[in-house]
Structure 1
Amino acid sequence: MKRTLLALCCALPAAAFALPSFDEVRAAHKPSEITLLDRHGVPVQTLRVDKSVRRLPWVPLADTSPALLRAIVLSEDKRFHEHSGVDWQAVAASAWANLWNTRTRGASTLTMQLAGLIDDGLARPPAGRSVVQKIGQAVTATQLERHWKKSQILEAYLNAVPLRGELVGVPALAQTLFGKHASGLDDSEAAITAALVRAPNAPPERVAQRACEVLALQQLSCAGIELQTRAALSRSGGMPLGEQMAPHFARQAIDWQGPAVQRSTLDAGVQRLAIETLRHQLAELTGRNVEDGAIVVLDNASGAVLAWVGANGGTSAAAQVDGVLARRQPGSTLKPFVYELAFEKRLITPASLLDDSPAQIATPSGLYLPQNYDREFKGWVSARTALGASLNVPAVRVGAMLGPDALFARLNAFGLALSESAGYHGQALALGGADVTLLALTNAYRALANGGLASAPLLRGAPALPASPRRVADAAAVHLVTDILADNGARARTFGLASALATRGFAAVKTGTSKDLRDNWCVGFTDRYTVGVWVGNASGEPMHDVSGVSGAAPVWHTLVTRLHEGRPSRLPLRPAGVVVSHVAFDSHREAPRDEVFIAGTEQARQRDSSQLAPQRAFGITSPRDGSRYALDPDIPPAAQQIRFEGERGTWMLDGRRVGQGASLAWAPWPGRHELSLIGPGGRVLQTVRFEVRGAVVKSAAAARRSGG
């Protein structure tokens, strides 16, 4: 019989199969999942890239359970360590016909089975192998034994053998059915695995029976094996072993054509801290209709992403939505870029007095009447106070000085990638009327941290990989803005001295809240890190009485504090071109102080008149003809009054006298209206038409009941 088989083998074409080496087979092993490591080599996320099979990274024989090795060899090939690929003793015992029985493996050795796994031409078809294929399998097994070590044959087999359903290889089976690595399988689990090698898709009772036979070969008890088998086979795939803490980041950082294990810039410790901090804050906001949040932490020097939390998996109704990349209105977090450009162009200084009084802003949907955080106007304030206290009207006035085109271009230079056009956004751009992503906004603040040098954030590669920065803003002007954002006294008029924005070491920070409380933000930087936080709802549903300082700022504060434990953040060095000079204010608007200036713009005394002071009005200056106003039913009417402004005279609305003077506040009512201004002698100075849209506003009490 042996001579007959050898004669048939010699009849096969010599080049029927080029035998691969063990290293080639291992290199060709393609896991169905990619594991992402942090910068220190700690696994942070595993993503499935092949939906057709479940195949895990190659596991060396040394990392495989000894119990499994015993069970597999005893069950499939008792003389594995003695034969040379074909077990001639088993062939003699089972006879020629039994050797090739299509319903049982019979004398088919582990080496012969491996030959069928690494050579597609020897793969077992549904109808069974042909005689030529069976002979080729034996020939290849002999070649494998001649060129490979026994340990390599067994290792390759365990990683390549098809098992139950989509599972390929013992590592995938161990993780899916037992929730373990292949190294951790005990005797019973090893017996079940060996039984599945023989009959991968057999019913549980048959698998349990076969597992009991494998245990009996080792003189081990079968007690409880049927119950254990049913429990294992009823398990679904589930998540890979280990922490899965960065699903959104992994989608962006993984090279989908790359190796099975890849390293990223993420820091597992910082990522874990960010996740825990966000969950804690959202729990604190229970009852205020807040379920989502996102966090980015960047290394200032390299741009490496240290933390990327795209959603709160615990409460989010849209956990798959990546809040780091979703585009939303950033509110007041754009104001630092407005003031930086105005400082750079020498239009104002941090000591310049700006008029914080009612104003109307044209937007694509009508006129917008900006309100401050505390719904009060401060009159003449310095630019330092206006930015620090996040006053809206002064920011709009400064934005108007710059013009939408210049501001639009500067924001895009910082990498915000604004859509639409400058004309589309108009003056509302200064108050965050354009959509941005948290990643882009945080990286723009990182450019401020680096003195106006911008570079793209890094998601993978060496953590110390040098960036290729480009200058997008004047270093002196950036320093002025940074000094204001780090001044806790400058924001005291709005936020007080003990807000979450105050830190022990240096930190420059700004909050922002979009219209209708849909999104709130807190973005800021220290000497080493830039941290961006967004809190809101992925659906865009408004929150209940949650602003940037109460929603996102506590998360930012905790992260900055923990990141600098043991090493406080230090003040930035003053760049060339920045000087400090004493300044006083007329009418004691603000206390005298030492102020930072771009050299050549110093002014010892600031007066109440400036280029921003309103000029003498002619006719009706507000509202404009054709204006449209949108009412928000959740804001009390007193906070949405429309102010009629112009020359001194008598105001007539829809034919009825409503007041007299140069300015008049009117509680808006839905509909189309005609407004006329009557001068001396009854002469009509001007008539304008405007429209108020929206449902009838709620009363103040109703607004409070609804959380508005």
Structure 2
Amino acid sequence: MCAGLVVGRVALQLSVPDEVASYVDTRAAAESSYIVVLDRQDLVLDKIRQDFTKRQGEWLPLSDVSPSFIKAILISEDKRFHEHGGVDWLALINATQSHVLHKIKTQFGATAAKGSGLGRGGASSITMQLASMLDPELQGQGGRSYGQKWHQIAAAFALEASWSKDEILEAYINLLPFRGEVVGVPAAAEAFYGKYSFGLNSRESALLAAMARAPNSSIARLTERSCDLLQKMDYANQCHGLSHFVSYYLNLPHPEVLDRHHDAPHIARYARQWANLQGTKVVRTSLDSELQKVGQSLITAHLSELSDESVQDAAVVVLDNDSGEILAYIGSSGTMSRAQEVDHIRAPRQVASTLKPLLYAQAIDERRLTAASLLNDAPINLLAGEGLYIPQNHDRSFVGWVSLRVALASSLNIPAVRTIVSLGVEPFYKKLKELHLPLEKASDFYGYSLALGAADMDLLSLANAYRTLANQGVYSSVRWNSEVSVSDERREVFSPEASWIIGDILSDRQARAYTFGLDSVLTTPFWTAVKTGTSKDMRDNWTVGWSEHYTVGVWVGNSDGSSMKNVLGVSGAGPIWHDVMRYLHQQRESIARPKPEQLVAQSVQFVGVDEAPRQEYFLAGTEMQQVVALASQEQGEAMRIKIQSPVDGTILALDPDIPATAQKLYLKATIPSTDPRAGSINWYIDGIQIAKGAGNFWSPNRGTHRITLKDENAKVLDEIVISVR
């Protein structure tokens, strides 16, 4: 007997593999099948499958696995695991005897036992099973041969010599195959029960441990084995109803459950690219998973209310003002969208009136205007490129003289255009570039229409430009992952004083009452500054604004660029913005920043304008106490007869696809109602009289034409030159 043991020991030593995989290398090689995208609290936002041969999760330390499962798997597979040195000899001898007796009994039977090995039913210890997982040559199909079993034993001894017991058990639990493609207890717990492995209870643990012995066993067999384990775990009472429990969980589409996380599909794309470059499987983001879900549900709820208005898409981005971290990144309306894969946060769209705060901030900084300056909201014709630019307000009406405060808060177009004429297109263009706004064309491509947002930009860049105003005019980059390298540049684009004034205007409910009323979705019970915008033909609408802590940007429209039906920024994007802000400030107040010391508060009275006296804020040296409308040369100009349309120098182009007789130019004169010559003025084209009265249509022909306005005595009242091509 002693001689036999000595021979066996020598044989085992000769069978020891040349190299034994280390615990560290084994753990490093056990890659997850997924790139896992986590939120700021390490909750799963998204999972992107990379390996389609298996479904395996992240390696978990033993301390993160439920004690119930550890107890169940040890009872099932290796009850003396902590007592032996790699092989449970007692279990192995008993299994060998049973195997030999079974062979004798079936030797002359109709069906011989398949294979000659002992297999899993041959009392392979957990260490032996792990050795087979690590070495494919030790994995027997339909049972192992005695030679394979011998090498498996030798490999188990080698593992025990270099690994700790906890390392062996941890590796086993992470590499254990289950039904289908599921590998490892972390993946199995999520696949079968939708929970993390530390939360497994005794019944769930017993079923997984029963499955470990023979993953594809029948429901009846797994129920029997699970009950046996529960009895040994002192939970015999849990065998009641166990068959229904096993049947329910095994009939679920369990492997696909692992793919169910899609709370941030658009940010997951960037995470995947970054993870592949970095060679990592886990990406931690700055997002808040709960905010992400709330934002998505708000989009669904509000778009459902607009179901009859031809609108299907929306996007929401939330930024932390201080850090620049992206807290929510919802790129589409999900299942409501016809193109839910499109990332509308980064898709360039015409930004409409949302650039006005930036325009006025620059004008205030350059001391061209103050919040009390009067701007004429009246018709204006401007030469632009090779044509005529005639801006209009959204409602096609005009207010007349208004202060900058009212013009911005109520989003009037003509005052903004007059401001960019004064400021210059190129300087404003350069200011937008300083904010890293994506202007793809040269400044002259946009012309004066840049004041009204006739440029394609993305929601994230626009929201960060507003965050600059929230941060006293200091620009810095946004970030979605603290490990991603972004510029740490912090640069002052606007002064703190101008930024504060713009924030004060955009938070002024009274100033925006002309367009939006006193009570709208732009009003919140805490301090916020907000601006809306609606692009041409209602293709896009926006609401972007900030509180003390957050900047929120919302876009609503259609992925194919089609028009919506009567959906404006205040009715489309506005309600979503409002509710996101309300959610963010459920338990956090928001107050305005303190007024910068350099700002001067001054009481102002307005003459000739329907605006009540108020306290206004000025850059030092620009203060006003009284502002009078029509104080410029325009008052005198308004008292004389003149040609209003077209303007001098207009260049027109005839459309070759339209009959010349159908192409007419409207000639309009401005005539004071008190002027007795109102009914006797005459229009001349190149010296030939063509019409009488204040307004007439003329069919132009190609060439340069002189248009003259005369009274009944042939006195020239006004004259312009236009070109027709």
Residue 647 of structure 2 corresponds to: 621
* Aligned residue identity for 1:232: L
2:347 aligns with one of 316, 321, 326: 326
Residue 621 of structure 2 corresponds to: 600
Deviation at 1:35, TM superposition (A): 4.4
Name the CA shift for 1:116/1:627 in 2 (closer, same or farther; >3 Å). farther
2:161 aligns with one of 117, 133, 146: 146
* Aligned residue identity for 2:327: L
2:286 is equivalent to residue 265 of structure 1:
yes
**Which is further off, 285-294 or 100-109?**
100-109
* Aligned residue identity for 2:225: V
Query: What is the alpha-carbon distance in structure 2 between the residues aligned to residue 517 and residue 624 of structure 1?
Result: 29
Give runs of aligned pairs for residues 115-264 of structure 1, distance below 5 A: 115-119=131-135, 122=137, 124=139, 136-182=151-197, 193-194=208-209, 197-198=212-213, 200=215, 202=216, 206-208=217-219, 210-212=221-223, 214-215=225-226, 217-218=228-229, 225=243, 228-229=246-247, 232=250, 235=253, 237-240=255-258, 245-252=263-270, 256=275, 257=278, 263-264=284-285
Query: What is the alpha-carbon distance in structure 2 between the residues aligned to residue 174 and residue 216 of structure 1?
Result: 19
2:511 aligns with one of 469, 490, 497: 490
Deviation at 1:483, TM superposition (A): 2.5
Query: What is the alpha-carbon distance in structure 1 between the residues aligned to residue 602 and residue 206 of structure 2?
Result: 82
Query: What is the alpha-carbon distance in structure 2 between the residues aligned to residue 449 and residue 594 of structure 1?
Result: 22
Query: What is the alpha-carbon distance in structure 1 between the residues aligned to residue 557 and residue 585 of structure 2?
Result: 27
2:306 is equivalent to residue 291 of structure 1:
no
Give runs of aligned pairs for residues 386-425 of structure 1, distance below 5 A: 386-425=407-446
Query: What is the alpha-carbon distance in structure 1 between the residues aligned to residue 383 and residue 115 of structure 2?
Result: 85
Give runs of aligned pairs for residues 482-561 of structure 1, distance below 5 A: 482-561=503-582
* Aligned residue identity for 1:115: A
* Structure 2 counterpart SS, 1:237: helix
Deviation at 1:517, TM superposition (A): 0.9
Listed as ranges, the gaps of 5+ residues in structure 2 are: 104-112, 657-663, 671-680
* Aligned residue identity for 2:56: R
* Aligned residue identity for 2:59: W
**Which is further off, 430-439 or 246-255?**
246-255
Deviation at 1:142, TM superposition (A): 0.7
**Which is further off, 499-508 or 509-518?**
499-508
CA deviations over 1:597-656 (Å, ceiling 9, x no partner): 2222234333425589989879952783244899xxxxxxxxxx9864689853779x99
Deviation at 1:296, TM superposition (A): 2.0
Query: What is the alpha-carbon distance in structure 2 between the residues aligned to residue 12 and residue 316 of structure 1?
Result: 63
Residue 700 of structure 1 corresponds to: none
Contact 2:85 2:160 in 1 (8 A): yes
2:600 aligns with one of 574, 579, 600: 579
Contact 2:116 2:143 in 1 (8 A): no
Residue 633 of structure 1 corresponds to: none
Name the CA shift for 1:100/1:492 in 2 (closer, same or farther; >3 Å). same
Residue 698 of structure 1 corresponds to: none
Name the CA shift for 1:580/1:67 in 2 (closer, same or farther; >3 Å). closer
Contact 1:335 1:430 in 2 (8 A): yes
Contact 1:352 1:606 in 2 (8 A): no
Contact 2:68 2:205 in 1 (8 A): yes
Contact 1:187 1:215 in 2 (8 A): no
CA deviations over 1:220-241 (Å, ceiling 9, x no partner): 8798859955862561534449
Query: What is the alpha-carbon distance in structure 2 between the residues aligned to residue 7 and residue 99 of structure 1?
Result: 30
* Aligned residue identity for 1:168: V
CA deviations over 1:566-604 (Å, ceiling 9, x no partner): 654323222244223344444345444333222222343
**Which is further off, 263-272 or 357-366?**
357-366
1:351 aligns with one of 372, 397, 401: 372
* Structure 1 counterpart SS, 2:449: helix
Name the CA shift for 1:207/1:26 in 2 (closer, same or farther; >3 Å). same
**Which is further off, 324-333 or 466-475?**
466-475
- Aligned-residue CA RMSD (Å): 4.5
* Structure 2 counterpart SS, 1:521: strand
Contact 1:362 1:426 in 2 (8 A): no
Query: What is the alpha-carbon distance in structure 2 between the residues aligned to residue 153 and residue 259 of structure 1?
Result: 24
Residue 459 of structure 1 corresponds to: 480
Contact 1:179 1:241 in 2 (8 A): no
Deviation at 1:455, TM superposition (A): 0.7
CA deviations over 1:315-374 (Å, ceiling 9, x no partner): 223333222222211110101111111222222222322222233567789755432132
* Aligned residue identity for 2:58: P
Query: What is the alpha-carbon distance in structure 1 between the residues aligned to residue 346 and residue 633 of structure 2?
Result: 40
CA deviations over 1:68-96 (Å, ceiling 9, x no partner): 55664565556655543234453643469
Deviation at 1:540, TM superposition (A): 2.0
Residue 683 of structure 2 corresponds to: 650
2:326 is equivalent to residue 305 of structure 1:
yes
Name the CA shift for 1:598/1:181 in 2 (closer, same or farther; >3 Å). closer
Residue 55 of structure 2 corresponds to: 54
Q: How many residues align?
A: 667
Query: What is the alpha-carbon distance in structure 2 between the residues aligned to residue 657 and residue 675 of structure 1?
Result: 16
Name the CA shift for 1:612/1:195 in 2 (closer, same or farther; >3 Å). farther
Residue 689 of structure 1 corresponds to: 724
Residue 86 of structure 2 corresponds to: 85
Contact 1:305 1:459 in 2 (8 A): yes
For the pair shown, which has the larger CA radius of gyration, 1 or 2? 2
Contact 1:68 1:185 in 2 (8 A): yes
**Which is further off, 526-535 or 541-550?**
526-535
* Structure 2 counterpart SS, 1:293: strand
* Structure 2 counterpart SS, 1:57: coil
Contact 2:373 2:627 in 1 (8 A): no
Query: What is the alpha-carbon distance in structure 2 between the residues aligned to residue 345 and residue 506 of structure 1?
Result: 27
Contact 1:330 1:436 in 2 (8 A): yes
Deviation at 1:564, TM superposition (A): 3.6
Contact 2:317 2:326 in 1 (8 A): yes
TM-score (norm 1): 0.80
TM-score (norm 2): 0.78
Query: What is the alpha-carbon distance in structure 1 between the residues aligned to residue 312 and residue 32 of structure 2?
Result: 35
Residue 20 of structure 1 corresponds to: 22
* Aligned residue identity for 1:274: G
* Aligned residue identity for 2:130: L
Name the CA shift for 1:531/1:215 in 2 (closer, same or farther; >3 Å). closer
Query: What is the alpha-carbon distance in structure 1 between the residues aligned to residue 31 and residue 583 of structure 2?
Result: 40
Query: What is the alpha-carbon distance in structure 2 between the residues aligned to residue 430 and residue 492 of structure 1?
Result: 22
Query: What is the alpha-carbon distance in structure 2 between the residues aligned to residue 566 and residue 230 of structure 1?
Result: 41
Contact 1:199 1:207 in 2 (8 A): no
Contact 2:543 2:554 in 1 (8 A): yes
Name the CA shift for 1:46/1:659 in 2 (closer, same or farther; >3 Å). farther
Name the CA shift for 1:517/1:371 in 2 (closer, same or farther; >3 Å). same
Query: What is the alpha-carbon distance in structure 2 between the residues aligned to residue 629 and residue 354 of structure 1?
Result: 36
Identity of aligned residues (%): 38
Query: What is the alpha-carbon distance in structure 2 between the residues aligned to residue 584 and residue 230 of structure 1?
Result: 77
2:358 aligns with one of 325, 333, 337: 337
Contact 1:266 1:307 in 2 (8 A): yes
Contact 1:301 1:528 in 2 (8 A): yes
Name the CA shift for 1:677/1:55 in 2 (closer, same or farther; >3 Å). same
Contact 2:138 2:151 in 1 (8 A): no
Query: What is the alpha-carbon distance in structure 2 between the residues aligned to residue 566 and residue 73 of structure 1?
Result: 48
* Aligned residue identity for 1:33: Y
Query: What is the alpha-carbon distance in structure 2 between the residues aligned to residue 439 and residue 515 of structure 1?
Result: 21
Query: What is the alpha-carbon distance in structure 2 between the residues aligned to residue 629 and residue 609 of structure 1?
Result: 42
Contact 1:340 1:477 in 2 (8 A): yes
**Which is further off, 208-217 or 573-582?**
208-217
Contact 2:16 2:155 in 1 (8 A): no
1:440 aligns with one of 438, 461, 468: 461
Deviation at 1:64, TM superposition (A): 4.4
Name the CA shift for 1:374/1:175 in 2 (closer, same or farther; >3 Å). same
